[in-house]
Amino acid sequence: MYSDPEHSAPLSSRRLEPLRVGSERLAPVVAWLCLVSVLVPLVACGKKGAPLPPLRNTPMTTRDLQVSQQGRQILFDMAYPKTTISGFSLGGIDGVELMQLVKPAPGAVIIDPESEDEEDEEDEEAKPQPLPSADAREFVAGGEVLLTLRGAELNAAVVGDRLQFRIPLADELPSEPTANIFAVRTVKGNEDSQLSNRATLIPIEPPSAPGNLQAQATADGIELSWEADTDFEGFDVFRREAQVRGYDEALARVGGDVRAYRDTSARYERRYIYTVRAVANVAPLIHTDEAGEREIEYKDRFPPPLPANIVALAERASVRLRWDPAKADDVAGYIIYRREPGRDFHRITDKPVASTEFLDRNLASGLTYAYQLQVVDENGNESGKSDPVVTTAR
């Protein structure tokens, strides 16, 4: 049997080769040992750094608080805070604090922003005085928390990406003009935002609201009408879809002597709710109460219009009909009726004709034929029939 003398000899009798540093076989091992010798002290001797402070959930300051009056209610509108002051997602808020500071406002009147740049040759004393305001320190020192929204009340105030809420007007208003200056703070956990921009309102006794609001669907939009005893600065028309809670900005503003509006932006197959408020003052905005609400489902039940310039051209044993396109966006086609001597009008096209031309063939030369057109839209609404056009086939 074969035996390897070197490997079969006792360990003590084997000849051990000295390690050679330059050996290619040992180079990776040496490198690994060096790496370990460097890393182990770092792990063993590393120190724990000071913990970083937790990120604060302070809500971003509200800068778009708006206040207006509607009837005997004071309305507030602001964006729902979405981020912290560091720019991170806030994930909702836990509360809103509404604060108020009251100041006398002698001589303060409504100022139309569009007229501020116009030149006025009157004395400075005769010019309207701007509405009072207050800086943050004055507000914090003299203001009071008027309302706190939390829980269900806060959730009820959320309309889309806005917060909208209201408070009642005082039963009796001061005899002298008084400025109600408002601001808000939003709350997340134990963190309060900074005070918002200030919004000022001088409440007034509201005039009577318009009434008898009507809404009617037409082919050109939804026609609104209402009644009012006096003229106002204007009327604001509001619209919302039936499934949406609360109105956004006014759809339109019409003149104070106008009592109707046509909503041409309404779309078929939608259900809308409308209301109208009279504008008693422009800036800050003071509305009357609403003229009720009217809900309407806008469906396409309206036939398309007839085409213009329908002509019948006689050809050999045939008649060629031509017409202009009907002025509607949803035309599906045209139905053609014919009357020959001794018969009534009858339909001669199985399907609506998509083009604006039709050739009626195989007619008897010398006979007189009359034609009528009818338009049908994509919802199956059919127009009336056109006036007859008459010609004699050649």
Going from the first residue of the chain to its last (394 residues), give the mean pLDDT of each consecutive group of 10, the final group possibly shorter. Answer: 41 38 50 53 54 76 96 96 93 95 76 44 53 86 93 94 93 88 95 95 92 96 96 96 90 96 96 97 92 96 95 96 95 97 95 97 96 96 97 95
Tell me what pLDDT residue 15 has.
41
Q: What are the strands of the beta sheet with 318-322, ordered from one edge?
A: 311-315, 318-322, 357-360
**Euclidean distance between CA atoms 51 and 162, whole angstroms:** 38
**Euclidean distance between CA atoms 167 and 165, whole angstroms:** 7
Single-letter amino acid, residue 287: H
Tell me what pLDDT residue 248 has.
85
Residue 59, classified by CB atoms within 10 Å of its CB into exposed (0-12), middle (13-18) or buried (19+), is buried
Residue 75, classified by CB atoms within 10 Å of its CB into exposed (0-12), middle (13-18) or buried (19+), is middle
φ/ψ (deg, to 5) at 254: -115, 170
Tell me what pLDDT residue 29 has.
52
Single-letter amino acid, residue 48: K
Tell me what pLDDT residue 140 has.
83
CB 326 within 8 A of CB 219: no
Count Cβ atoms below 10 Å from residue 122 Cβ, excluding itself. Answer: 7
Tell me what pLDDT residue 1 has.
40
Tell me what pLDDT residue 284 has.
87
Long-range contacts of 313-317 (CB under 8 A, 24+ apart): 313/391, 314/391, 314/392, 314/393, 314/394, 315/359, 315/393, 315/394, 316/365, 316/393, 316/394, 317/361, 317/362, 317/363, 317/364, 317/365, 317/393, 317/394
Q: What are the strands of the beta sheet with 221-227, ordered from one edge?
A: 211-218, 221-227, 260-263
φ/ψ (deg, to 5) at 228: -155, 140
Tell me what pLDDT residue 19 has.
37
CB 38 within 8 A of CB 172: no
- Report the candidate in 320, 322, 314, 338 with the shortest Cα–Cα distance to residue 394: 314
**Residues near 72 by Cβ (< 8 Å), separated by ≥ 6?**
168, 169, 206, 289
**Residues near 238 by Cβ (< 8 Å), separated by ≥ 6?**
247, 248, 250, 251, 274, 275, 276, 277, 290
- The partner residues of 168 in beta bridges, in order of sequence, read 73
Query: What domains are defined for the chain?
Result: 66-111+126-201 (2.60.40.10), 211-298 (2.60.40.10), 311-392 (2.60.40.10)
Tell me what pLDDT residue 294 has.
97
The reply to whether the predicted model has a pTM over 0.95 is: no
φ/ψ (deg, to 5) at 6: -70, -45
